[in-house]
Amino acid sequence: MGNRRRVAVLISGRGSNLGALLRASARPGAAAEIVEVISERPDAPGLKRARGAGLPAVVVARSGHPDRSSFEQALQDSLDAHGTELICLAGFMRILSPAFVARWRDRILNVHPSLLPAFRGLDTHRRALEAGVRLHGCTVHLVRAEVDAGPILVQGAVPVLPGDDPATLAARVLEVEHRCYPLALELVAAGRVRVEGERALIDAPTPGTRPLINPPA
Ligand code: GRF
């Protein structure tokens, strides 16, 4: 237990991915330990989840700071105070500065609700439906200064079904987010990820190749 990577989860809202990360880190042998949850919104429902797990639930509100650099200094102070080694962004709605991202290079993970590099930015489910894609999903990646870009760790795909609306599609994607994020964190925390150029190489047994084909409905 003594050798686990210390992880802070940064949230702005509901915190369902936080919940998935907490459940995974409670498993025996997990390589990651959540030591702190930071929300940039004082009313984020995810803070309750953190407190329920007995974790420090810290509010660092952007509005409480005159500029981004003092906001980020407050984040950094809290991360330092908890001996944080890795950061997981989980629905964190603030863009981090290039300087902050550089300081934490290859130690910040994010989950994005699309199969990157498709549909960067907001409103991904509506845009996927409008584009008529047959497969949609989520991506867990290492964070770079450019938003929704960076070495891809894990992706999960789901079918887009006839009759889907953004809410039904979001719910299907969220289920795979909850599987992909803990897996990605475990790989990074266990030291099984090496970054080469803009690709993340994973030191794991080669999986069988099984094509994932979305059949016509
Ligand atoms: C998720 O859909 C995630 O992909 C996106 O924000 C949402 C956060 O949901 N970045 P939750 O707060 O983890 O429930």
Do 117 and 212 belong to one domain?
A: yes
Q: Is the CB of 15 inside a 6 Å radius of any atom of ligand 1?
A: yes
Establish whether 141 is a catalytic residue: no
Among 104, 133, 166, the domain-final residue is: 104
- Average pLDDT across the chain, whole number: 95
Do 91 and 131 belong to one domain?
A: no
Q: Is the pLDDT of residue 71 over 60?
A: yes
pLDDT in tens, 17-26: 999 999 999 9
pLDDT in tens, 138-177: 999 999 999 999 999 999 999 999 999 999 999 999 999 9
Do 115 and 186 belong to one domain?
A: yes
What's the whole-model pTM score? 0.95
Do 75 and 99 belong to one domain?
A: yes
Among 104, 138, 167, the domain-final residue is: 104
The pLDDT value given to residue 74: 98
Q: Determine which residue's CA is closest to atom 8 belonging to ligand 1.
A: 91
Q: b/e string for 64-93 if b means 16 or more Cβ within 10 A?
A: eeeeeeebbebbeebbeebebbbbbbbbbe
Do 208 and 133 belong to one domain?
A: yes
Do 97 and 115 belong to one domain?
A: no
Q: Determine which residue's CA is closest to atom 5 belonging to ligand 1.
A: 91
Q: Is the pLDDT of residue 115 over 60?
A: yes
Q: Is the CB of 177 inside a 6 Å radius of any atom of ligand 1?
A: yes
Q: Is the CB of 107 inside a 6 Å radius of any atom of ligand 1?
A: no
Domain of residue 44, CATH code: 3.40.50.170
Do 154 and 177 belong to one domain?
A: yes
Taking the centre of ligand 1 as the mean of its atom positions, its distance from the CA of residue 160, in whole angstroms, is 19
Average pLDDT over residues 180-209: 91
**Total count of domains within the chain:** 2
Do 119 and 183 belong to one domain?
A: yes
Concatenated DSSP letters of 60-105 = --GGGSSSHHHHHHHHHHHHHHTT--EEEESS--SPPPHHHHHHTT
Q: Is the pLDDT of residue 31 over 60?
A: yes
**Residue owning tokens 């960067």:** 120
Q: Is the CB of 180 inside a 6 Å radius of any atom of ligand 1?
A: no
The pLDDT value given to residue 216: 61
Do 80 and 120 belong to one domain?
A: no
Among 75, 104, 133, the domain-final residue is: 104
Helix or strand or coil: residue 16?
helix
Query: Ligand 1, closest atom to CA 111?
Result: 4
Do 41 and 141 belong to one domain?
A: no
Taking the centre of ligand 1 as the mean of its atom positions, its distance from the CA of residue 19, in whole angstroms, is 11
Provide the domain limits for residue 193.
110-217
